[in-house]
Amino acid sequence: MPHHSTPESPPVKLVVVPPEAAVNATAALHPHQQPIRWVFAGLLLLVSVVNYVDRQTLSVLAVTIQREMHLSNVRYGYVVESFLIAYMIMYVVSGRLVDRFRPRRTQGVFLLCWSLASVLTGFATGFFSLAIYRALLGVAEPGNYTASVRAVGDWFSARQRAIAVGIYSMGGTLGAAIAVPLTAFLALRFGWRAAFFIPGALGLLVTLIWFAVYRDPDSPTRIPAPTMPWRQVLRQPHLIAMIVTRMMTDTVWYFFLFWIPKYMQESHHLTLGMVGKTLWILYVAADLGSILGGVTSSWFVSRRGAVPGRFAVMVPTAICMLALSVVPRISNTTSAVVVLSLLAVSHMAWMTNITTLALDLYSSQIVATVQGMIGAASAAGGAVSAGLIAYTIQAHGYQPIFVCLAFMHPVAITILFFQLRLGRRSAGYIPPGEILA
């Protein structure tokens, strides 16, 4: 046995820690056990509601605004593209900003900016001004999702993350559900411009609430956090597969947001008032999908591990999305709304889990940057598809679009499954059993 000498112990130095600092230190060391994290999850829900109300207003008023501004379907598609192109570019930028400056400051600024953009949309007078104001909205809105995913990574454990992601994802679909009757009511009562002014003003109020309530964990100073170099981020395993699958499947949800209200008005002859009374059901169903997807995968994660637990939900929901191809053949309006609502449940259960999968695969220090890249690819797919969808609808109607989009989720889950399966040996940062067996 080697001899170990025992050096003389240095003198003990007592440090008096103020009670407030001690509490902050405890919160920093154990954020996953702090009850306040559920308050923050509720706040992320509220911000996401505002985000989607401001985004969804235009699609509800598409027919009304097209008629007043003499916009063709193609020009309406260009307006949608202006939002998505700005959204795509700023997704990458916002993710980088969130990882550097943390969610509290970045989310507050993003919320302030998109609320002002919503107000400005109410002043639009034609195609160009409408496209510019929607582009400004696209500049600010993606920050909500990079900040939210980072906040969840900061405050929640792997077992709880899908529930937290489901909560703030539900905010998006709840916002869409609220936007339909709210927009219809405001437009019919006060004119369509009020449907942009009033939600924008409410967003400014929520900005104040955000700054008053939310706090970043273990951030006693205001020094920006160091960020991983881009070349290292780009070398992260499975990144391309995550980008491709989100690009494909998010295109389906963009279609739900920007085209389904218009489709129901044109194909089922719904008035604006009927849209307000009917289509909110679709988005409430999507809320249910967000929560069910999170709770169900959390149950599977506790038994199978993180990645297999996510796939246990993602595989069946991807298969269900094939039913999208039959929607144009449904002539009964009630039946069409029911089928679309069930598809919304499936998509949002998928979305909750593929978003949480990024938290499972990448460290919290870079997850907002990764989410920004994924979101940018998603918006790119939405921007390209917006133009293609507009031209296809004008030339051939809605049937080819529904059939094409029905295969996005099944193809995406196949790509992701084989990429993770084949790459499991090189994914040394994931414990054994976490990658699909």
What does the alpha-carbon distance between residue 79 and residue 101 come to, in Å, rounded to a whole number?
Answer: 31
77 in a structural domain? yes
317 in a structural domain? yes
370 in a structural domain? yes
Whether residue 116 has pLDDT greater than 90? yes
Tally: H helices and E strands in the chain: 18, 0
Identify the pLDDT of residue 68.
Answer: 92
153 in a structural domain? yes
The amino acid at 388:
L
Alpha helices (H) in 362-407, listed in sequence order: 367-396, 399-406
For 315-355, write each residue's pLDDT tens digit.
Answer: 999 999 999 999 999 999 999 999 999 999 999 999 999 98
For 10-69, write each residue's pLDDT tens digit.
Answer: 443 433 434 344 334 444 445 776 889 999 999 999 999 999 899 889 988 988 999 999
For 364-396, write each residue's pLDDT tens digit.
Answer: 778 888 888 988 888 788 778 877 888 898 888
Q: What are phi and psi of 3, to 5 degrees?
A: -85, 130
Give the burial class of 373: count Cβ atoms within 10 A of its Cβ; 0-12 exposed, 13-18 middle, 19 or more buried: buried
For 172-221, write each residue's pLDDT tens digit.
Answer: 878 877 888 899 899 999 999 999 999 999 999 999 999 999 999 865 44
Residue 225, SS3 per DSSP: coil
48 in a structural domain? yes
Are 297 and 305 in contact by the 8 Å Cβ rule? The answer is no
Domain residues for 377? 36-215+236-422
Model pTM score? 0.74
25 in a structural domain? no
What does the alpha-carbon distance between residue 182 and residue 273 come to, in Å, rounded to a whole number?
Answer: 11
In this structure, what CATH number is given to the domain that contains residue 278? 1.20.1250.20
Which of 22-31, 86-95, 406-415 is predicted with the least confidence, judged by mean pLDDT? 22-31
Identify the pLDDT of residue 80.
Answer: 85
Identify the pLDDT of residue 277.
Answer: 81
Tokens standing for residue 229: 């170099």
Tokens standing for residue 237: 């395993």
13 in a structural domain? no
Give me the number of domains the chain comprises.
1
Identify the pLDDT of residue 364.
Answer: 75
Looking at the chain, the whole-number percentage of residues with pLDDT higher than 70 is 87
Identify the pLDDT of residue 24.
Answer: 47
Q: What are phi and psi of 434, to 5 degrees?
A: -80, -40
- Residue of 226, 45, 244 lying closest to 152 (CA atoms): 45
4 in a structural domain? no
Identify the pLDDT of residue 6.
Answer: 44
Q: What are phi and psi of 397, to 5 degrees?
A: 85, -170
What does the alpha-carbon distance between residue 185 and residue 190 come to, in Å, rounded to a whole number?
Answer: 8
